[in-house]
Structure 1
Amino acid sequence: MSKSFILCVDDDKTILMSLKAQLRYCLGAEFCYEVAESAEEAWEVINDLEESGDSLAVVISDCLMPKVKGDEFLIAVHKKYPKAVKLMLTGHADNDVIARAKSKANLAACLTKPWSKEELVNIINMALEAP
């Protein structure tokens, strides 16, 4: 049976584990939860899950990552999965990067680190309910 999945992408393992645990606790068994430490690894996860028949529901990406930056990754994801909810996490807000992601990736929100678990879950729920 296919499931929807939430993918968290960050080069910091601690952040990935924290995100995954918070999302699983708040959203329960409605989703599968996957993590990746780079955009390249994220594409591998997406492709593997797609082959299994699962669908990408939400992508949460760090902004500053080695090689491929978060906005570039989210723009590429949007081109292939326009209905997926895209969120960005950042410790260093760059208004130009955020604006580009909003316009080219339909970014639902940009949250600063440390983020509020309640705000994150509320944004995901509202974005998934939007037409």
Structure 2
Amino acid sequence: MHDAAASFASDWITVDQAMVDRFADTIDDHQFIHVDPERAKAESAYGGTIVHGFFVLSLLTAFTRTALPQTGQGAVEVNYGFDKVRFLAPVPVGSRLRGHFSVAGETAKAGGVLRSYAVSVEIEGADRPALAADWLVLIVGG
């Protein structure tokens, strides 16, 4: 069990255009605001390309590697879902992001522990986070 008051921050990750383009290919979302820097600069309110919201959400897994203590040997963490996800600010391509995690609670569930995290993704230099979420992770084994 984790201390419910514990809070963890990840290392920074820079999201470049090549990463966004690969993600666009993976999910088949090639909207110009994500993949066409010249058009996005000329035609959008963002001044350039922005990162897909679902890409930012998917980075939570990467952020956990440097933010959260590793589970015990033999334990497996399984994505259980989200109680809430909000995309709060656009993320310009080239931004540095990091995840912030706080343990919101733990309950016994299905032979393991269901842990809830309050999560936010910080955009370096921005006033608002990119997203806020309540993330559920099932820890089994170990």
Bigger helix fraction = 1
Per the normalisation by structure 2, the TM-score is 0.22
Compare CA radii of gyration and give the structure with the larger one. Answer: 2
Per the normalisation by structure 1, the TM-score is 0.23
Higher RCO, Cα 8 Å, sep 6+: 2
